[in-house]
Amino acid sequence: MTTTDSDTATSRDRGKSGAFMPARDFMTAVRELGIDPQDPRMLKLAEHQRFVEDHAPKVIPPCPAWCVQPAGHDYDGTDGSGEDLTFERTHVALDGERLAIDAILAIDAMEHNHHGTVATEVPLLYVNHEGNFDAEQARAFAAELLSAADLLATITGRAA
């Protein structure tokens, strides 16, 4: 079995409290789902999306050198409420999609941008696996885990 985008998204979305989608994309999604865009609840949600979009950082800082996401990747979540919003995005060093075994290994760190003050968490290794390994799979997993640990040590400056 291979990992899927949704598996990877789950690992990346840890700790995220609010999805951020541009208002026009939101309304497109509403129409595609067959929901009446004039429904008052949809209008209220669209209004909120526009508010968030209007308050999004105008300048996106550079990624850490180890991030494999496209340069300048956008914020994809928010924390807080009202005008006191913190915009969040995840820098990714390893997304686990290359794993040959049915497990997710991810190395990432969330960036928080609060009115232009940017703080990025220390990258950590995330492991997710359900089910059992046979001996061959266990060895493959151990090799992937060691490789990920080496990468983490390198990007955090703690190489063994």
Buried (b) or exposed (e) across 104-130, using 16+ Cβ within 10 A?
Answer: bbbbbbbbbbeeeeeebeebebbeeee
Q: 61 or 116, CB closer to Zn ion?
A: 61
* Minimum CB distance to Zn ion, residue 71 (Å): 8
* Minimum CB distance to Zn ion, residue 111 (Å): 7
Q: 26 or 108, CB closer to Zn ion?
A: 108
Q: 27 or 105, CB closer to Zn ion?
A: 105
Query: How far, in Å, are 23, 78, 82, 142 from residue 90 at the CA level?
Result: 21, 12, 22, 25
* Minimum CB distance to Zn ion, residue 108 (Å): 9
Site residues, Zn ion (CB under 5 A): 63, 67, 69, 91
C-beta separation of 155 from 107 below 8 A: yes
* Minimum CB distance to Zn ion, residue 67 (Å): 3
d(CA 56, CA 78): 9
Q: 12 or 91, CB closer to Zn ion?
A: 91
